[in-house]
Amino acid sequence: AAEEGFDAEEVEGAIEEAGHGPLPVLAVIGRPNVGKSTLVNRIIGRREAVVEDRPGVTRDRVTYEAEWSGRRFKLVDTGGWEQDVLGIDASVAAQAEYAIEAADAVVFVVDATVGATDTDEAVVRLLRKAGKPVVLCANKVDGPSGEADATALWALGLGEPHPVSALHGRGTGDMLDAVLEALPEAPAQTFGTAIGGPRRIALIGRPNVGKSSLLNKVANEDRVVVNELAGTTRDPVDELIELGGITWKFVDTAGIRKRVHLQQGADYYASLRTAAAVEKAEVAVILIDSSESISVQDQRIVTMAVEAGRAIVVAYNKWDTLDEERRYYLEREIETELAQVAWAPRVNVSATTGRHMEKLVPAIETALAGWETRVPTGRLNAFLGEIVAAHPHPVRGGKQPRILFGTQAGTKPPRFVFFASGFIEAGYRRFLERRLREEFGFEGTPIHVSVRVRE
């Protein structure tokens, strides 16, 4: 309907765009120095990634949103990986395992000027086993004379090598076209095949907050299946655990249990692991060590889960260790440092004593319910009408922009698109978001609000 100056097509287009579900995930993998980060920079078209980083400087950002030919996807950059004490083969393999596991398709970058190395061959074996679509990027082909080097990479048995110069941009467009062909429209493993199956939980948090202790506590009480899903690793990756009479799938438990002691790159390794788990999960249970000050690293993990659009529960672990004083400061820290998830259900637990374990499931269910909430259009517009009448947008330049109508374009997490008669300021958007939460709940879920302005 031509509503208040928006034509039907425009409205439909906006709803479709705002309502996109979870994005498919593309992982960029390969040995150090083959040009992964350079390629990621080129694809996301920003100078935000990592090439400038010096060795030893850890990066926490591993996923980026990207777009090519009008299609959006998530990019997992493994370029920050550093060779660790296990040696180059083991570290590249471990990195590749996590990235492949989380991905819907993979770009495997090989330095064409060097040719395929033994390490590359090892990654090829992992890729074969995983069975995910692969696009082979023959990088550092800066000019026509390098094409022969690219051709030689047919020998890897991964199909056509795409000659690319990540540095200069040569060939990246053709390669990305191949990527889009390989990439499913939506992330299959999380939301396709999993529909109707057990809900997927990622247990995340910085090292030593008690993830493996908590997992052991809940799993030992009532384990259903171990080794449920072999994935690409030798260890079980996902585990089915019965809690509160319901079977849940804890994703990436191998990552939690694995006791690999890494020196260089350990933080990055943890970030990649967290990103992989979050991508696969519907709900993230974020563990915080309440005996220690809430850190920047805790905040980054929270941001990762929020940006991924997952349902969120925050569990404050090691509650058995708290004294009065620490408890006082913890509450202050939560208010100031974790304000971005003030809407998340909270549980105060102890993996050691088992305190409040029974509160975990209700919190998870609350968060998932918020995540799946759909507000009927009629109710939403009645609410918008009241808000706009009672709290109009401030007048700017003699005009008063107004929210005309809105609709919920999608769920998991809830996504809204509002149609307005003029530019809506950030402060007013935040106000609307706050009121949406007050009215409709959305406990435990991020929400997205986009605004379309009438031309």
Point out which residues bind ligand GDP (CB under 6 A).
30, 32-38, 51, 79, 139-140, 142, 165-167, 205, 207-213, 256, 317-318, 320-321, 350-352
Residue 242 CA, chain-centre distance (Å), reads: 25
Give whichever of 167 and 180 is closer to ligand GDP, judged by the CB atom: 167
Using CB atoms within 10 A of its CB, is residue 186 exposed (0-12), middle (13-18) or buried (19+)?
middle
Dihedral sign computed on CA atoms, order 348, 353, 355, 357: positive
The token duo for 411 is 């769920």
Task: For residue 359, say whether it is annotated as part of any ligand binding site.
Answer: no
* Shortest Cβ 173–ligand GDP spacing (Å): 14
User: For residues 277 and 26, what is the distance between their CA atoms, to the nearest angstrom?
Assistant: 14
> What is d(CA 406, CA 14) in angstroms, rounded to the nearest whole number?
11
Q: Is 131 annotated as a binding-site member?
A: no
252 is in an annotated binding site: yes
Residue 34 vs 306, nearer CB to ligand GDP:
34
Residues 31/91, Cβ–Cβ less than 8 Å: no
Q: Which residue has the tokens 């009008």?
A: 70
- Residue (5 or 207) nearer to ligand GDP, CB: 207
Q: Is 117 annotated as a binding residue?
A: no
**Distance, CA of 424 to CA of 420 (rounded, Å):** 7
Is 256 labelled a binding residue?
A: yes
Distance of closest approach, residue 129 Cβ to ligand GDP, in angstroms: 22
Q: Annotation-wise, does 141 bind a ligand?
A: yes
Using the minimum distance from each CB to ligand GDP, give the nearer residue, 14 or 153.
Answer: 153
At its nearest, how many Å lie between ligand GDP and the CB of residue 79?
A: 3
CB 167 to ligand GDP: min, Å? 3
Give 243-311 as a DSSP string.
ETTEEEEETTHHHHH-----STTHHHHHHHHHHHHHHH-SEEEEEEETTS---HHHHHHHHHHHHTT-E
Nearer to ligand GDP, 62 or 166 (CB): 166
Residue 256 Cβ, how far from ligand GDP at the closest point, in Å? 6
Residue number with CB closer to ligand GDP (146 or 370): 146
Least distance to ligand GDP from the beta carbon of 405, Å? Answer: 47
Q: Report yes or no: 405 and 3 within 8 Å, Cβ to Cβ.
A: yes
Q: Extract the annotated binding site for GTP.
A: 30-37, 77-81, 139-142, 205-212, 252-256, 317-320
